[in-house]
Amino acid sequence: MSPVTHHIPDDIIEAYASGALPHAFSVVVATHLSLCASCRATAEACDVLAGTALDALDAGAPDADLRARTLAALDAPAPRSARAERPAPSSGGLFPGPVTAELRGRPPRWRSLGAGIRQQILTAGPLGTVRLLSIPGGKAVPDHGHNGLELTLVLQGSFQDQTGHYRRGDVQVVSDEVEHTPVADAGPTCICLAATDAPLRFNALIPRLLQGVFRI
């Protein structure tokens, strides 16, 4: 596998490590960490720093109400917005552990978006959506902008656009300042894991008309 050259920014890794990152983005970060030793080391350093800071606090004796609330919270199930469990390094399969967990161990159930492009929405909620995208070699995603944050992680094949060239393990991070036309490289189908927290902003009429149907 080619070395990872496009990484998760440190502030997003810190949010993931603290549990503050919404679930959709946490899935992308966890998957990238399973493929990238450098970012995995950053996440582990965040854990160490957080533990050191907690050890340095003078906690004192908690009052009875705080103790009861803490014990109740420990018994409650973790919210979906909490970070994914720290991923192990990928064993080399197409779908690393965090993606396999979202798929519940089943193969993707693709839905056509037209022009050979397919998707499966894995999780959708008010804080974000995470989906798999399958783009045949040589095909382009319609020109679009963004109304929020998007993280796109390459799992197979590669693509390029105005911001750079992305291969397996690479993550593209774009905000509402970016407009681009991603094009899959000739060769194997480009499969990506993408998380967004707002609908895309398409420039052409037909993609805009179909946007609500495809939930993009």
pLDDT per residue over 182-213, tens digit each?
A: 999 999 999 999 999 998 888 877 777 767 77
Which of the residues in the chain have pLDDT under 50?
70, 73-74, 77-82, 84
Look up the CATH number of domain 107-214.
Answer: 2.60.120.10
Taking a C-beta distance cutoff of 8 angstroms, is the pair 100, 87 a contact?
no
| Residue 194, Cβ density class (10 Å: 0-12 exposed, 13-18 middle, ≥19 buried) | buried
Residue 62, pLDDT score = 56
Query: How high is the pLDDT of residue 157?
Result: 98
Task: Give the model confidence (pLDDT) of 113-142 as tens digits.
Answer: 998 999 999 999 999 999 999 999 999 998
Can you say whether the dihedral through the CA atoms of 68, 71, 77, 80 is positive or negative? positive
- Position 78 scores a pLDDT of 45
Q: How far is CA 127 from CA 19, 130, 198, in A?
A: 14, 10, 9
For residue 212, the model assigns a pLDDT of: 76
Domains of the chain, by residue range, sit at: 10-99, 107-214
Amino acid at 19: G
Residue 79: the pLDDT is 46
Taking alpha carbons only, the member of 132, 175, 122, 173 closest to residue 155 is 132
